[in-house]
Structure 1
Amino acid sequence: MFGRKKDQAASTGAPTEETTKPVGKNAPTPKRSAQQAQNQRPLVPSDRKAARSAERAQRVEAQNRMRLANETGDERFMAARDRGPQKRFARDYVDRRFMVGEYLMFAVFAFLIISLSLSRFPQVTMNITYALWVLVAAVAIDSFIMSRGLKKALVARHGSVDRGVMYYGIMRGLQFRKMRLPKPQVRRGEDPR
């Protein structure tokens, strides 16, 4: 009523169950206990120490591959968050610029030390706090300018911007250049690849 008739399926040339099944079994049906025994694997390996050392070796090898990929820029072994042509372009675009946000953490650390050591002088502490807020505003403005330029460059090169690439670029701009992973592949002022 709702499906095709058997003669319609045969007329369209679609294979039916009769045409796809092989003729004959060529072997006796195995017993159920034999099939279950074949599919069973132990939950715990018989030699736990060897299994643990093999697992550790695999983990170390994967970490070494990822570390080497982060240093050389080989995307095959990078983390999934760093893969893709748009993210590679965003990395290169951010790495070619001088970003104020690179030094924000150093400024915050210096602010904490100075404000704790000069807590007896409230006027100095207040001026340092204002300077820190000016630095935070400068970082926000610099990140906004960088993100606008990155968006224009991505649209010009790739036609659209993938989800998360802008945030990825901004977060990379807030990291100190020598501590960025994957390592920068372009020098400052050099054009992105």
Structure 2
Amino acid sequence: MFRRRTQQAVEESPSTANDAKSGGKGRPTPKRRDAEGRRRQPVTAPKTRKEAYRQLRERQASQRARVQEGLARGDERYYQPRDRGPVRKFARDWVDSRRIVSQYFLPFSLVILILTWVPFPVAMRQYIYFGVITVAWPVMMVSVLITAIWVGWRVKKVALEKFPGENMKGIGFYAAMRAMQIRRLRFPKPMVKVGGAPMPTPSSRR
């Protein structure tokens, strides 16, 4: 009697194991390197030189677009090392929030250059040369020099009060040189309007 039950249990055990295996995955567990190999995307190398150049141009265009977007947001990761840091940002904002005489130096110089090329009559040319080159040009140069000295001194003084312990090396010269540039040509681009109001970023315009 016991022998018959034991033999019956042994005969039923393979079917039970098969049922359990059929209820599972039904296949052996894949190896890790096989699974990772299937997850990897196939890398297709360019077949021709023209296709390689096209892919290179697309990557460069995408990178330039990412850099331009970061610069427009004021992301300092895309700035040059000389433009990074809270002190440099303060100097830029201080200059950009004001109308300074020295920022008109380049447009004024361009006007003088154009006037020297215009074929005025001889009598009128003498008055123009005297008024522009002999009077206005020296006055502008002295004004730019005085303004640059004042901007550099003022920015450094306020920055020392606002950022104690920070490195102030070259901050005055940095602010003075930015004040001599035309506002639209300044880089990094101004992040504040004249008066101090913040400029709208590309994300806020959408």
TM-score by length of 2: 0.62
- Structure 1 runs (4+) greater than 6 angstroms displaced: none
1:95-119: per-residue Cα shift (whole Å, max 9, x none)? 1111112211111111122233247
Q: Which residue of 1 aligns with 2:181?
A: 175
| Cα shift at 1:186 | 1.5
- Alpha-carbon distance in structure 1 between the residues aligned to 2:142 and 2:75: 36
Q: 2:139 aligns with which of 134, 147, 158?
A: 134
| Cα shift at 1:152 | 0.6
| Cα shift at 1:128 | 0.7
TM-score by length of 1: 0.66
Counting only pairs closer than 5 Å after superposition, residues 160-171 of structure 1 correspond to structure 2 as 160-171=166-177
| Cα shift at 1:170 | 1.6
Root-mean-square deviation (CA, aligned residues, Å) is: 2.5
| Cα shift at 1:50 | 4.0
- Alpha-carbon distance in structure 2 between the residues aligned to 1:47 and 1:174: 50
Q: Check the 8 A contact 1:95/1:186 in 2, yes or no.
A: yes
Structure (1 or 2) with the greater helix fraction? 2
1:10-43: per-residue Cα shift (whole Å, max 9, x none)? xxxxxxxxxxxxxxxxxxxxxxxxxxxxxxxxxx
Q: Check the 8 A contact 1:90/1:150 in 2, yes or no.
A: yes
Q: Which residue of 2 aligns with 1:84?
A: 85
Q: Check the 8 A contact 1:172/1:180 in 2, yes or no.
A: yes
- Could you say which structure has the larger radius of gyration? 2
User: Match of 2:187, as an amino acid?
Assistant: L
Between the aligned residues of both structures, percent identity stands at: 30
- Alpha-carbon distance in structure 1 between the residues aligned to 2:63 and 2:121: 49
Q: Check the 8 A contact 2:160/2:168 in 1, yes or no.
A: no
| Cα shift at 1:74 | 1.4
Give the direction of change, closer, same or farther, for the CA distance of 1:188–1:107 in structure 2 (3 Å limit).
Answer: same
- Residue ranges of structure 2 left out of the alignment (5+ in a row): 1-45, 199-206
Counting only pairs closer than 5 Å after superposition, residues 64-83 of structure 1 correspond to structure 2 as 64-83=65-84
- Residue ranges of structure 1 left out of the alignment (5+ in a row): 1-44
Give the direction of change, closer, same or farther, for the CA distance of 1:164–1:57 in structure 2 (3 Å limit).
Answer: farther
- Alpha-carbon distance in structure 2 between the residues aligned to 1:123 and 1:161: 50
Give the direction of change, closer, same or farther, for the CA distance of 1:163–1:60 in structure 2 (3 Å limit).
Answer: farther
